Amino acid sequence: MSFFNKSLFVKVIGLFILSVSSQSAVAKPNIQEKYDVLKQASNYAQSIACSTTFAKDSDDYKTTVKDVFLVEKAMDYEEKNEIGLKYIVFWGGDAGCAGGSGTYSNYLTSFSRDTETRPFLVEKQDILDDVNEDIYQINTRFIQDVEFYNGVLLVTSSDYSDNNTDGGNNFPRYQYRYTLVFDMDTYKWKLANKELIKDFYPNAKSHS
């Protein structure tokens, strides 16, 4: 099972590559810079959520510097200085500290700064809000992994079936890999591809 919006993918990839090329292709990020972003992300997450993946006693996933992705870098070549930088951080937590069943979620929070002398600030709490804005596409409760390669975000997450063949509220049936690309027309991340990679209950029968 695979969803593929070819026209969007080609258009967005072309625009992204053009944009990145003109801004200095996103090279290897400065490691200290990544730790600075990680610290800001930790402070932000723990100010709005409980049981975050930044907590020392986090039982499951632990957000580290490997979850910090440099997605955009703009340079002024004449002045030889930075004029814009953007990172995305993958983390999880119970935003609002509701403490109920299903209140825990995962986030891809974007951080940016205008110059090297300014701090990193939250740009958007969750870029996946844009992906799910018009139609539900990615279940943020079950994100297991995020990777970034050459302008493309790869998100591995799970979701429920349409015919009630799951293992319960916390056990969705299918695992997918989602490909996200940045649309320069709307300045939002968009879903370009959805690929089924695993069926957790291949022998399940519909309960409807």
Q: Could you report the per-residue pLDDT of 43-56, keeping only the tens digit for each? A: 999 999 999 999 98
What is the tens place of the pLDDT at every residue in 53-87? 999 887 778 999 999 999 998 866 665 666 689 99
Give residue for tokens 């004449």.
78
User: Do residues 87 and 127 touch, judged by C-beta distance below 8 A?
Assistant: no
Domain boundaries, the chain: 2-199
Q: Give the predicted TM-score (pTM) of the model.
A: 0.84
pLDDT in tens, 159-203: 999 988 888 888 999 999 999 999 999 999 999 999 999 999 998
DSSP string for residues in 96-132: T---STT--EEEEEEEEESSTTSPPEEEES-THHHHT
Name the nearest CA neighbour of 26 among 187, 125, 39, 34.
Answer: 34
